Amino acid sequence: MNTIEGGVTAARGYLASAVCAGIRYSRDDIALLVSDRPASVAGVFTLNRVCAAPVKLCREHLRGGTARAVVVNSGCANACTGAAGMKDARRMAQITAECLGVPRRTVFVCSTGTIGIPLPMEKVEKGIREAAKKLSPEGGVLAARAIMTTDTRDKQAAVEIEAGGKAVRIGGMAKGSGMIAPNMATMLAFITTDASAEPRYLQPLLREVADDTFNRITVDGDTSTNDTLLMLANGASGTAALAPRGRDWRKFEDAVREVADRLASAIVEDGEGATRFVTIVVTGAASDEDAHRAARAVAESLLVKTSWFGADPNWGRVIAAVGYSGARIREDRIGISYDGTEAVRNGVRAPGFDLKKLEEILKSRRFEIRISLGAGRGKAAVRACDCSYDYVKINSEYMT
């Protein structure tokens, strides 16, 4: 697997563009991503029971299994907008379909931004028409910037593998850095490939990859109303269709996971106000689910996150979070270490506990906490960031 330049237009047969429609920002806020031929499509969406109109539309269009385009706006989430919001989302698909001359049901729509405000549809329509004229194979980076809300940098990744004797490329872009002030609706991610694969194989692959990557990060523990991950496979590489049990499937899966993993990392690293990036690895759990439960409780504990900000090797808060996570534990076997330096052994402070050394580790920008629960062989890892003054500042400043 080789890292290559670019993002969603790194794979062959994809075009993208971006325009400023003036929805909220005075920079590009509409992105258009197009496959030059019908692509298989898979999608994973927010589990929030309050979900935005474009999410509902994507779920509907996903049933067709085919995508030609994805249109995205930032600045307005089109969430909690009722029947009018649903009509607006459909209209975005309709206009995109007309401009491109493709079926309406092959157009996917995503929105990110303020909740509860209607889309300024005149501006949006004009923007889409303009974007359709500016499509180019170099447009990936422009699209990656246009989907940002309070992200401080664009997030792209791409790799190349060999499959079926040909070079196959997988690229992607994402946005997200918290569920951002005043109420931006968080994570969007798009992965494109020129491999060929049927939707029925693509969907479980994407679900699994999402569970291992995007569902293993947390900034503030708030699940948004708009989270969307879409993957398109258009076959432009000319390889035969890939399928599970086929020779290159595993390689393909690894490459998709790699792209997703890099995008997920980029989101945590751009976490609102974050100063520290922490990987929490839980082992010895009764099941992988239990390990995930424990890791997530630590990652989302406000007390743990503020102690990271203060560079405090406060293992008491870590063990308390593990205790209330619901994961089965053997208290007298719990172990905790920071970057390999032991803090807890058998549920109590480790012999030779070295406070000075632990403090040094906690002062780094990046460190790993390993927690063993002593209850089995399950394991999981979650990536998180700290909770700083700036997080409170960003999220308490009134911006409606």
Question: Out of 61, 257, 262, 317, which residue is the one contacting a copy of itself (CB under 8 A)?
Answer: 317
* Cα angle 384-386-387, degrees, rounded to a multiple of 5: 130
| 3-class SS shares of the chain: helix, strand, coil, % to 5 | 35, 30, 35
Tokens representing residue 261 in the block: 């993993």
Residue 351 in contact with a copy of itself, rule: CB under 8 A: no
User: Considering only 31-39, 96-104, 229-237, 329-337, which stretch makes contact with a copy of itself by CB under 8 A?
Assistant: 329-337
**Residue with the two structure tokens 């909220």:** 24
| Between 212 and 312, CB nearer to a copy of itself | 312
Question: Out of 14, 201, 309, 338, which residue is the one contacting a copy of itself (CB under 8 A)?
Answer: 309
Tell me the C-alpha distance between 75 and 117, whole Å.
Answer: 10
Question: Out of 301, 337, 378, 383, which residue is the one contacting a copy of itself (CB under 8 A)?
Answer: 301
Question: Out of 17, 35, 81, 203, which residue is the one contacting a copy of itself (CB under 8 A)?
Answer: 81
Residue 283 in contact with a copy of itself, rule: CB under 8 A: no
Q: Report the interhelical angle of 199-212 vs 249-269 (nearest 10°).
A: 40
Question: Out of 34, 55, 102, 115, which residue is the one contacting a copy of itself (CB under 8 A)?
Answer: 115
Kindly state the smallest distance separating residue 105's Cβ from a copy of itself, in Å.
Answer: 24
Active site annotation includes 186: yes
Residue 356 in contact with a copy of itself, rule: CB under 8 A: no
| Residue among 112, 186, 192, 239 flagged as catalytic | 186
User: Considering only 3-11, 147-155, 251-259, 340-348, which stretch makes contact with a copy of itself by CB under 8 A?
Assistant: 340-348
CA distances from 90 to 61, 74, 183 (A): 11, 17, 23
Residue 12 has what DSSP assignment? T
- Write the secondary structure of 296-358 as one string of H (helix), E (strand) and C (coil): HHHHHCHHHHHHHHCCCCCHHHHHHHHHHCCCCCCHHHCEEEECCEEEEECCEECCCCCHHHH
Residue 282 in contact with a copy of itself, rule: CB under 8 A: no
Residue 321 in contact with a copy of itself, rule: CB under 8 A: yes
Residue 237 in contact with a copy of itself, rule: CB under 8 A: no
Residues forming the active site? 186
